[in-house]
Structure 1
């Protein structure tokens, strides 16, 4: 699908760029930037890959990616008969977009610390409603006003506690991607996402990457710091957590619905990734009254 978006601000000499994506689904390619990217998911949910981490994403969430960190969003299919549109607002900027050493000033150090943390990828856990609203205040041909809004957003996000920042990759220096890797990994990622509920195998993945199976397995482990089977299990477990939150299905039913064919293996893998069994995980969510987050913009 051809990506459709409008640049909210696109002067040729702009120090930062704002984009708004509105399309049936997010089907990003694996990609990375030479600067920073800040993104608000206005409407969409699905799977997100950053560095070497696979996780669910939901509407209302804000992410920040640093230079060179590969990432990809892929929406879940919309329910049949609906006209739901995936919607996101994205800001891209370099570390020195206002000038060299600008963020070294005392009053701006927290923003600089935030940008350094974003090299590992950031998901913000608790977001004040005022921050979400700021994203909707960007306007075309209002570069100075947009700059002030961007600084306000960065300031608000940098004021939160360290516990409010979830790092997506433990050590991004261990994840080595080149431009040529994007196409190979994108085809593999799409293959897994389209088939993880049924059958996925490394031989088919290797064929998509135009490699023999043994070479592909070595390549995948070298690039992602995990085996292909670990990657597949991570996607399946992320889907299981969504089902445990959003349905009342039994554990066995969820096991098979996620592509596992052995309940004991499913329980072991779930505990590896989540630190507790599926039953314990669901019980903890019920006790804490956790549900999938929901967000609706309150104005333009």
Structure 2
């Protein structure tokens, strides 16, 4: 899974892009782009990776992504078997910070929107009444032209800037380290862990990927991310486990192995250390229980 810079084509008569994709399945690489992205998944299911966050997505999900955050969506395996009953429908908006002029978001009236855009570099999941308001605006946007397009997009951003229905995805440490554009070695490590976190990953493998000795790699990784490689790997696995626990369809032991832990007791210990709660307490209670 090689990280790619995606080029977003925008028509000459538009300052930003909005579209509806209807596809047999989602087919995108691990990628990033300088545009902000709003995506509403009307129909599709699978795995979402935003930075160091592993999540699931399903029908009705909505995500907002800041510029240059690496991300990928991959459907469940059944979607790639040419089943005519399975397909993906996604509403997508791409725009740059200077789409409306280099200093547009610096004017006083844009302060709240500017603050939201700055935090969106972590990636944001949008829920609740906020999501349903935005869906209605997306439908209007798709049927609009000329200046009405800009007005509707600003209305969407204002709703987001005032919302409490937001869940931030990637960690701040990940975003800060990724924005140091010279860290090509970190990109390779993130890619590798994102693709293999459900399997056994040895420190030696990560060090070899970075072309370093284990000692040098440990120093390098800690200096860039403010955590050890083991802590980073465990946090990624625990973040994924939260989604599985919220669904409640698997036992705690099954979730431990599904997330790459080779021992349910070790999973329980790490989960409690990171969340302050035992996984069994939160199984089947929904994602809101993790923020209480």
> TM-score, normalised to structure 2's length?
0.74
Matches within 5 A, 1:119-138: 119-126=121-128, 127-138=130-141
Contact map agreement 1:31 1:71 (CA 8 A) in 2: yes
Distance 1:181 1:24, change over 3 A: farther
**Deviation of 1:27 (Å):** 4.4
Are 1:146 and 2:149 an aligned pair?
yes
| Cα distance, 1:178–1:103 mapped onto 2, change above 3 Å | closer
Q: Residues of 1 paired with 2:103 and 2:195: CA distance?
A: 45
CA contact (8 A) 1:197 1:257 kept: yes
Equivalences for residues 84-123 of structure 1 within 5 A: 84-103=86-105, 108-123=110-125
Give the CA deviation at 1:28.
3.4
Q: CA RMSD in A?
A: 3.9
User: Does the 8 Å contact 1:6/1:19 carry over to 2?
Assistant: no
Contact 2:46 2:74 (C-alpha < 8 Å) held by counterparts: yes
- Where in structure 2 are there 5+ consecutive unaligned residues? none
Answer yes or no: is 1:257 the counterpart of 2:258: yes
Q: How does 1:90-239 map to 2 (within 5 A)?
A: 90-103=92-105, 108-126=110-128, 127-139=130-142, 142-160=145-163, 163-168=164-169, 169-170=171-172, 174-179=176-181, 181=183, 184-239=185-240
Give the 3 Å change call, closer, same or farther, for CA 45–119 of structure 1 in structure 2: same
Number of aligned pairs? Answer: 280
Displacement of 1:201 in angstroms is 1.4
Equivalent residue number for residue 65 of structure 1: 65
Q: Which residues of structure 1 form unaligned runs of 5+? A: 291-300
Question: How much does 1:79 deviate?
Answer: 3.1
**Is the 8 Å Cα contact of residues 246 and 282 (structure 2) preserved in structure 1?**
no
Please tell me whether the aligned partners of residues 246 and 284 of structure 2 are also in contact (alpha carbons under 8 angstroms): no
TM-score (norm 1): 0.72
Q: Tell me how far 1:199 sits from its aligned partner.
A: 1.4
